[in-house]
Structure 1
């Protein structure tokens, strides 16, 4: 069923049906606001007499025709998963096509990204208000991480010049070092957290590579990956992309754990300078055990949340053979993604505790 849906979606994309314009014609996209939804007028009834739909009037809010109200036919059925049902007041993206001198307008999608700006602003505000100077520095490291991944890593993946495994580990190390240095400053505590992060991510990376190889994971576990493979980026190593996703998914949680343990051991040493190596390690492990359960559960829940439709699909197939379902590429990939990251996080705890104790005892 999923392959059939993907094939239909691919055909729609290749013929620009989703954009409601021929592939050979240029299509422009502008913002608009729905001002009216109702039955078709007489002209549209004659033109679309065999199709079910409604008349949608849209006021364009961007581009050279901003302020103009245009009418369009919006296809509506009870079966299509890709139809767009709109109501007055909705913000939409309008596809404007030029065919034989005639301009046509179609609802392409909802205009969603303005709300992303609002959420992003609230996120930054919360960091700065409740985190103060550290929160402001956190905003900087988040921006840096996004910049490195989107501008450098993805650019290198598209060029396909270097090994994705090596590239992933280098980018992960750069993000870990930059994050810990900016947030915590240059100190032995930061060094211990960085080394613990590198060690934990290395464990997750090794297990990810082994899982991909031994479980014969293809990296084509999502609709996006299948569409890219079939249409735009057939030359990309999708197993390498899967490896990168596993490593980056574990990186954030591992950094959180390592800096918490390093900070705790550092504070214990500050309060009691005469404490021995074993007691420092024990203190770090005690803190780590408290963190271990919740952070591992956080990773599992994060992956479970993103895979909820998949779990519902499995649960709804009462008579399906579980042996077949549990061995599907998409199912095993999600298990491997969650478990490798969790194991890397767990291994980072004793590693960080020992490294921090060693560095502080040298004083």
Structure 2
């Protein structure tokens, strides 16, 4: 009798498991756009909850009006007050083609970002004219190089140094040629930029290896490791990021110094190479402080939440510096700044000796 009872229990558990898995298999999750028609704030256990009515804008349930509750969770990305006419992404859960639940996912932001992009483009054309348009084209080329060349090379297992050098070279050459055309000035700026960028990359690899950086310190990188099957060199990815991150500032410094040296030579054909060289250094001294601050502040700005976490946790400076994430940011800031500083004499020398 006992054996029969046990057998029945096992069969019931097995049937329940089969039913649960069948339900899970039949469930489908779809992300669609919707517009908020109305909302009412209600209170539940001292937490704010909105009763939201939306109209689906796409997919199988297009034009359907659905109501659901949206909980405002303090300190989370879902703490967003939904208002009338706001476009949002919602997740529809269906079972056997029947809608069983709906949940808020995210606000639709691409429209406002497009407006900001159009404003940027308009101001670029207004103040820069045709050169501003060429700068915008150079920006597009930079993005395409990163997305269509660099990322595929890394994913396919190419060496990160080769990938970084190739992409940086294409970006630098295309940008300077588009902005200044085929000229000796462009060549000098290109060589100066490549020189400063190489210095940054070498220092990043050297000191990153010395302090045993793994490249897996950022939450985003950890998500990349845990949620994808990519087999890539994450330490190399960190070094590539440091090198590419400093590229824009180095290009700016290199072109500024080159332009000044060429302008001096243009107004005085008999000026000596040493005079041109020290003129480039003089200009570099004026811009090095602001450009170095630009780099360090840009990197520090991305780490502010973590710095606040350390401050609230009353960690010592030694403990903070020795954490892998902060150490990575310090390497990023200092190697980029050193490369920027050395760009000044490198570019000044190249521009002075090739300006005849």
1:88 aligns with 2:64: no
- What's the C-alpha RMSD, in Å, of the aligned pairs? 2.3
Match of 1:158 among 152, 155, 158: 155
C-alpha contact (below 8 Å) 2:26/2:95 kept by paired residues: no
Aligned-pair CA distance for 1:157: 1.8
Aligned twin of 1:124: 121
Aligned-pair CA distance for 1:237: 1.2
Q: Secondary structure of the equivalent of 1:67?
A: coil
Query: Kindly tell me: are residues 82 and 328 of structure 1, through their superposed partners in 2, closer, same or farther at Cα, counting changes over 3 Å?
Result: farther
Aligned-pair CA distance for 1:96: 2.0
Q: Secondary structure of the equivalent of 1:106?
A: strand
1:333 aligns with 2:328: yes
1:147 aligns with 2:118: no
Q: Provide the rounded CA distance (Å) in 2 between the counterparts of 1:22 and 1:306.
A: 40
The CA deviation string for residues 157-179 of structure 1, in whole angstroms up to 9 with x for no partner, is 2222x101211111111100110
Instruction: Report which of the two structures shows the higher radius of gyration computed on alpha carbons.
Output: 2
Q: Provide the rounded CA distance (Å) in 1 between the counterparts of 2:24 and 2:287.
A: 55
Match of 2:275 among 269, 273, 279: 279
The answer for unaligned runs of 5 or more in structure 2 is 1-22
Worse-superposed segment, 305-314 or 168-177 = 305-314
Match of 1:346 among 341, 347, 354: 341
Match of 1:34 among 26, 33, 36: 36
Aligned twin of 2:55: 59
Aligned twin of 2:302: 306
Size of the alignment, in residue pairs?
331
Query: Kindly tell me: are residues 23 and 249 of structure 1, through their superposed partners in 2, closer, same or farther at Cα, counting changes over 3 Å?
Result: farther
Query: Kindly tell me: are residues 359 and 315 of structure 1, through their superposed partners in 2, closer, same or farther at Cα, counting changes over 3 Å?
Result: same
TM-score (norm 1): 0.85
C-alpha contact (below 8 Å) 2:246/2:336 kept by paired residues: yes
Q: Secondary structure of the equivalent of 2:354?
A: helix
Aligned twin of 1:6: none
Q: Secondary structure of the equivalent of 2:193?
A: helix
Q: Provide the rounded CA distance (Å) in 1 between the counterparts of 2:115 and 2:126.
A: 16
Aligned twin of 2:216: 220
Aligned twin of 1:18: none
The CA deviation string for residues 77-109 of structure 1, in whole angstroms up to 9 with x for no partner, is 446555554233322112122224321322111
The answer for unaligned runs of 5 or more in structure 1 is 1-20
Q: Provide the rounded CA distance (Å) in 1 between the counterparts of 2:266 and 2:182.
A: 17
Query: Kindly tell me: are residues 263 and 326 of structure 1, through their superposed partners in 2, closer, same or farther at Cα, counting changes over 3 Å?
Result: same
Q: Provide the rounded CA distance (Å) in 2 between the counterparts of 1:149 and 1:78.
A: 36
Aligned-pair CA distance for 1:25: 4.2
C-alpha contact (below 8 Å) 2:36/2:84 kept by paired residues: yes
TM-score (norm 2): 0.87
Aligned-pair CA distance for 1:200: 0.2
Q: Provide the rounded CA distance (Å) in 2 between the counterparts of 1:149 and 1:220.
A: 20
Q: Secondary structure of the equivalent of 1:211?
A: helix
